[in-house]
Amino acid sequence: MPAIDAETQFVVVAGLDRLPDGAFLRVMIDAHGLVIARNGATIYAFQGTCPHEQADLAQGRIEDGRLICPRHLASYSLVDGEVSRGWKVSALKLYPVRIQGNEIAVDAAAVRRHPPGGGRKLWDLTRK
């Protein structure tokens, strides 16, 4: 088994053949929902829901290096996560990706350090 850097822990989330160019795929790491997307030779990993209204970002699209939210059409840079001008929402959380042979791996340690935001909350109204 290869040594694991204390600050990174890349885990395989999908085979490269499951993500053709232009495709989006939902994946889970430690119960955190992420999306991986392919744009040409580049593969991105980011939080699964929009920081604004928790839209499913697997339904978005990529244009000119930016992820377009399917619900409100704001865009997020796939370099640094910054939102397009005019929107007052948190930046998109991006995660390091590696191609290992024919598999896509995402840094699980980075996901743990900076868990995706925007998850839907379930309220337990039976507890005080």
Indicate whether 120 belongs to any domain.
no
Indicate whether 123 belongs to any domain.
no
126 band by pLDDT with thresholds 50, 70 and 90? low
Indicate whether 2 belongs to any domain.
no
For 31, the domain range is 10-113
- pLDDT at 25 > cutoff 50: yes
Looking up residue 40, the CATH number of its domain turns out to be 2.102.10.10
Indicate whether 67 belongs to any domain.
yes
Indicate whether 21 belongs to any domain.
yes
Indicate whether 122 belongs to any domain.
no
- Listing DSSP states for 35-96 in one string gives EEEEETTEEEEEESB-TTT--BGGG-EEETTEEEPTTT--EEETTT-PBPTT--SPPPPEE-
pLDDT at 119 (0 to 100)? 41
In total, how many domains does the chain have? 1
Indicate whether 127 belongs to any domain.
no
Tens digits of residue pLDDT in 47-93: 999 998 899 999 999 999 999 999 988 999 999 999 999 988 999 99
- pLDDT at 1 > cutoff 70: no
Indicate whether 62 belongs to any domain.
yes
Q: How far apart are CA 78 and CA 28, in angstroms?
A: 19
Tens digits of residue pLDDT in 105-125: 999 999 999 999 744 444 445
27 band by pLDDT with thresholds 50, 70 and 90? very high
Query: Cβ atoms within 10 A of the Cβ of 115, count?
Result: 14
